[in-house]
Chain A
Amino acid sequence: SNGSSINWPPEFHPGVPWKGLQNIDP
């Protein structure tokens, strides 16, 4: 395991369009 989930979960910002899990770099 390489621990690539470090940026999970995506954070919601009111002014930024929501991209969900797509905004996490693998």
Chain B
Amino acid sequence: QEPLTASMLTSAPPQEQKQMLGKWLLPLIQAMHPALAGKITGMLLEIDNSELLHMLECPQSLWSKVDEAVAMLQAHQAKEAAQKAV
């Protein structure tokens, strides 16, 4: 995919910036978590753009955030399932 740069990002309006970041994040996350990628991308987009840009340059920080998001999502889904079961 086309690389995303900080200058490309900062020249776009704020809503467009999230869209650009999402388009960049989604295929990366899909490779690891195909079923959860849309949700995980949504969670990561709540992070500040400057931090997302850092993650763009540092895959290790991206994967650690993805791991955190997956854990949060699974805990959330387990809680929802437990609430439904009651």
Contacts and interface: CB of A to CB of B under 8 A. Distances in A.
A17 B15 contact: yes
B29 to A, nearest CB: 9
Given A3-B80, A8-B76, A12-B22, A18 B45 contact: yes
Interface string A9-20: 111111001111
B83 A12 contact: no
Q: Is the interface of B mostly helix, strand, loop or mixed?
A: helix
Interface residues of A, number: 15
Contacts of A8: 76
Given A3-B80, A6-B80, A8-B76, A18 B46 contact: no
Contacts of A17: 15, 19
Interface of B: 15, 18-19, 22-23, 25-26, 38-39, 41-43, 45-46, 73, 76, 80, 83
Interface of A: 3, 5-6, 8-14, 17-21
25 contacts: A3-B80, A5-B76, A8-B76, A9-B42, A9-B43, A9-B46, A10-B39, A11-B38, A11-B39, A11-B42, A12-B22, A12-B25, A12-B38, A12-B39, A12-B45, A13-B38, A14-B22, A17-B19, A18-B15, A18-B19, A18-B22, A20-B18, A20-B42, A20-B45, A20-B46
